[in-house]
Amino acid sequence: MSDRVSIKAPAKINLYLHVTGKRNDGYHFLDSLVVFAKDAFDLVTIEKSELDIFEIGGPFAPLLHETDRKDNLVLKALQMYRADTGIKTPVRLTLEKNLPVGGGIGGGSADAAVAIKGLETLFNAPLKDRSLLAKLGADVPVCYNGKNCIMRGIGDVLFDAPALPAFYMLLVWPQKHTATKDVFTRLSLSEMKEEIFIPPAFDNVNDFIKFLQANDNDLAEPAQAISPEITQALTFLHKDQVCLLARMSGSGSTVFGLFENAQACENAKSAVRAQRPDWWAQTTSILF
């Protein structure tokens, strides 16, 4: 058995996101088609150690301030795993933070999810109570699942995704953190929708894009009211004539553009970086 494990924590993208209700405890019911990025990810490394050590590196490490470390979801995942399994062996946890913080692409949730997976692998001891995952965060169950899926409930009810056509994606983060709580606070209860029917497969990219065009992100309007930078990034993508669809993911502030081929996607990234070098831009395909 290895004493060290490294696992990628891929970005989670909500291709559409509808809010279908609200519980008495404040959690919202969601309906979303979720995919995971192949080429945009954080990296979590866990190894046995003599003392507990938590290190953060990567381009977005400076955004995770020292005062926030005790609240980092990776550490909370470790605490939860220990409480559930009784395993107390010291570990060195290293988080390579490549994804924007507060970007609506599940970075923190994905980090926590793969931390649990890594601990399960390292100690050959699975989490006994999987329902604990949702207590770490609403996106943790879907990130632990790590597969393209239809996400419902409060994020904890998952179904297999339909067969999807191949496409490419440009992720753009306009250097703006958007707090999920603030976005949901601005959401009008009158805007809530019913769960939609999703066909089992799409014949081609055009059919898939038409489906997505009919199903948007209910959180986009309140998020844009908080962060005009989201609108700026979306406008930039909309101007690209070969961009098939431009949309915000999750509660923002990351937006994405869909493209039919890799070269068009790379060209769009180059255009973003040329005109807005302060924005984060990353091309990716999706995991299948």
Tokens 């989201």 identify what position? 230
Question: For the chain (length 288 residues), average pLDDT per consecutive 10?
Answer: 92 97 92 98 98 96 74 95 98 97 93 98 97 94 98 96 97 94 89 88 96 97 97 97 98 98 98 98 96
Hey, what's the torsion of the CAs at 18, 20, 21, 25, to 10 degrees?
A: -50
Q: Which helix (H) or strand (E) holds 222?
A: helix 220-226
Contact present, 195 and 30 (Cβ < 8 Å): no
- The answer to whether 250 is a known ligand-binding residue is no
- The answer to whether 108 is a known ligand-binding residue is yes
- The answer to whether 257 is a known ligand-binding residue is no
Catalytic residue status for 3: no
C-alpha Rg value of the chain to the nearest Å:
19
Contact present, 99 and 107 (Cβ < 8 Å): yes
- The answer to whether 153 is a known ligand-binding residue is no
Q: What is the pLDDT of residues 176-215, one digit of tens each?
A: 989 999 999 999 877 778 899 999 999 899 999 999 999 9
Q: What is the pLDDT of residue 193?
A: 87
Q: Per DSSP, what are the bridge partners of residue 246?
A: 257
CATH code of the domain made up of 162-284 = 3.30.70.890
* CB-count burial class (<10 Å; 0-12, 13-18, 19+) for 280: buried
Residue type, 267: N
- The answer to whether 100 is a known ligand-binding residue is yes
Q: How far apart are CA 102 and CA 175, in angstroms?
A: 10
- The answer to whether 104 is a known ligand-binding residue is yes
- The answer to whether 58 is a known ligand-binding residue is no
Alpha carbon separation from 45 to 7, 54, 164 (Å, rounded): 6, 10, 31
CATH code of the domain made up of 4-152 = 3.30.230.10
Q: How far apart are CA 88 and CA 85, in angstroms?
A: 9
Q: HSE, CB side, 13 Å, CA atoms: give it for residue 63.
A: 17
Q: Per DSSP, what are the bridge partners of residue 169?
A: 258, 284
Exactly one of 31, 42, 111, 139 is catalytic; which is it? 139
Q: What is the pLDDT of residues 237-282, one digit of tens each?
A: 999 999 999 999 999 999 999 999 999 999 999 999 999 999 999 9
Exactly one of 12, 117, 176, 269 is catalytic; which is it? 12
Domain limits of the chain? Answer: 4-152, 162-284
Q: What is the pLDDT of residue 70?
A: 74
Q: What is the pLDDT of residue 1?
A: 61
* CB-count burial class (<10 Å; 0-12, 13-18, 19+) for 61: middle
Tokens 């879907």 identify what position? 142
Catalytic residue status for 139: yes
- The answer to whether 74 is a known ligand-binding residue is no
Q: What is the pLDDT of residue 255?
A: 99
